[in-house]
Structure 1
Amino acid sequence: MTTSPYDAYRPPEQGGRRRRLRRPGGRRRGGGGADGAREMPMVPDAEFTSYYGKPVVKAPPWGPEIAAYLFLGGVAGGSGLLAYGAQLTGRKLLCRNARIGAMLAIALGSGALVKDLGRPDRFYNMLRTVKLTSPMSLGSWILTAYSGGMGLAAASEVDRLTGGRLPLGPLRRVLSAVEPAAGVAGAVFGAPLAVYTAVLLSDTANPTWNAAHRDLPFVFASSASLAAGGLAMVTTPTRETRPARVLAVLGVAGDLLATRYMERRMDPVAAEPLHHGRPGTLLRWSERLAIAGGVGALLLGRNRVCAAVAGAALLGASACTRFGVLEAGINSAKDPRYTIEPQRRRLAARRAAGITDDSITTAG
C-alpha cells in the first residue's frame, strides 16, 4: 500500500496541546497515538451571537407607522362599540363623536398601514383571497368591513352636523335607511379590529410576542377600551360621558391585570425586552398614565377640564402600550439569547417530563 504526503498532515494545534472530545460517559474519543488519527474539534465552541452573521430570528422591518396603526386600530375598534352603546341608549352627542372619532382613527391608521406597505395595491391584493388560518388575511377583511360600516355611520353624522349640506342628493335617504345597520357593523367588527393585531404579532416566531400569545389579546382589548373611553371624554360634554368613563375605568383595571398576568406566564427571559430600554420606559409610562387617567375618570370625570385631561392620559397610555410591545418584540428578535435560552428551557422541561421520543426531543 502506498501513502501520499497528505497522510501525515495534521491540523495545527493550539497552545501546544490538542483538545480531545469526550464521550457522554466521560471517555475520550480517538486513539492516543501521534499519527493524527484522533478526533479533534475543527471549529470553536458555539456561542449564540448570530447564525452565519445573521440573527436567529429575522426582526420584522416595521417602523412607527405600524405602531401607529396598532394604536389607532384599537381606538377605532373601541369607539365602534361605544358608539353602538350610545346609539342604543339615545346619547346622540356621544354617538356622533364616537363615530366620527372612530372614522378618523381608522382613516389615519389605514394610511399608516399603506405607507408601511409602500403601495396601496399591496393591501388590495390581500383581499383577493380569504385564508382562515392567516391573521393577516382575516385582519384585512375585518378592517375593510369595519371601515365600510363605520364610514356610512360617520357620513350620516357629518351630514346632520353640517345641516344637510353634503351633496348627497337622493343618496341621503339611502344613507339614513342603512345608518342603524352600519352602526351594528361597526360594533360587530370593532372588537375583532381592536385585538386581531395581537394575534397577528403573537402568531410568529418572534420570542417576546410568541411567549405572550395567550394573554396579549386581552392586553390589547383593555388598551382599546381605555383609549376609546379617553377619546370620548376629550370630545364629549360630561353629561353624556358616563358610559365612556365606565368603559375607561374597566379598561384600566383590565389593562393592569392582564399585563401583569401576561408577564407572569411568559418565559422570564422572553419577557426581559418588555422591561429594558425604550420599550421598558414606554410600558412604565403606560402604567402611570393609565392609573392617572383611570383615577381622573372615576373621581373627576364630571368636571369638563379634568375629564379632558384624564382622557388625554388614557390615550397616551394606550399609545405607549402599543409602541412598547411592538418595539420590545423587534428587539427580542435581534438578540439570539431570547430565542435560544427559552428553547433550551422548554427542551429540558420536556425531557424531565419523560417526553423523549418525538420530533422535538431525543433520547440523548
Structure 2
Amino acid sequence: MAANAMSRRDEDEVCPVCKSSRYLNPDMRFLINPECYHKMCESCVDRIFSSGPANCPVAGCRKTLRKNRFRTQTFEDINVEREVDIRRRVMQILNRREEEFDTKRNYDDFLEQREEIIANLVGRIDVSKTEAQLQKYASENMASIRANQTLEQEEATSFQARISLEQEQARIRRQAARQEYEIERREVQAGREDFLTRLASGTSGDAAAIAREGHKVLLKKSSARRSEEDRIRQKQAALRSEPARGAGVSSAADTGLVKGLRKIKTPEPEKPYDPFMGYVPEKRDYYSLQESYPSQFLDNYRNNISVLAGGYDLREYYSRTLLEAFAGLSCFVDEEITQRDAARASKPVATEGAAIAAGQSGTESST
C-alpha cells in the first residue's frame, strides 16, 4: 500500500521550472542543491547552469547555485535531507573525541553543545552567529580537525578490513566443515566395506574381534579430530582476544567554543650532551671516580709532604686520566670524514673556473 502510494506520488512530481511531469516523462530525473533544496529536473539544471553559476529559478529564491552542487535526493522528506546535510557538516568540524576531554562530563557537555548548534541551524535560529562561530573554530583548530578526520578514516578502513576478514574466515570454516564431513563420511563408508569384507573372509569366531578392532579405529579417528578442532578453536580465540592497536590522541587546549579539553603538555627539549659534564671533575655519567687506585708510582707521592704542601691532589690526576681514557669512545672519525666529504661533494661548483681550480687543488694535494 505504501509502495503504491509512493509510486503514484513520484508519477505526480512536477518540475517547478518547466512544469514537466514524471507522469508524462517516466525517465525524468529530479535533482536538488544543498544551497536552497529546491527540486528541479535534470534537463533544467543542464539548461540553466551549464554556462556557469546562476540564481535559483524558483520564485522567491535568490540563492546563487552551481551545477556541480546538484545531486539526487536521498530522503523523501526534504527537511530530513537538509537536517542530515547540516548534521554531517557540523560533525565534520566539531569532531572532538572522548579521549581529548578531561572527564566524561566535559565530553557530554560537548555533545550537548554540538546538538544545540545543529538544532539552531536546522531551525534557522541565529544562523549568522552560529555560522560565524563554526568558521572561527574551524580556522583556529584546522590541525586537530584534520587529525581526527584521519583517525576516523583509519578506523572505518580497519573496521571494513576486520569485517572482510571475519567473512573470509567464516567462509573458510564452512568449507573446512564440508570437507571434514565428506572425509568422515568416506571413512565410515570405507570402514563398513572393510568390516564386511573381513567378516566375509573370516570365521564366525573372528566376528567379535573384528568388531572391537573397527570400534577402536573409529574412536581414535574421532579423538584426533576433536583434538584438532579444539586446537583451532583455541587459536582463533587467542587471535580474537588480542588488544586492538590504540589510535593516537591529539590533545589540545580549550578553545573559544569547546570547553573541558585536556591541556597540551609540551615535552621539554632535550639538552645537548656535554661530554665534559661541566667543570665538576667528580660528576661524570660514564665512570665513577674512586678515592684511590693501586699504583706503585703514585704511592710514593700519596703521603709525600713536599708534594702535598703545594696543594697537589691525586684525585684531580685520577679525574683527568679517566676523562682522557673515555673521551673518544663515542667518536667515530672515519664516519665523520665520510659525511664531511659527502657534504662537500653535494655542493655544486658555481663556475667553470672554480671547478678547474678545485680540480687543480685536489691534484696538488694528492701529489
TM-score by length of 1: 0.21
Higher relative contact order (Cα pairs below 8 Å, separated by 6+ residues):
1
The structure whose Rg is larger is 2
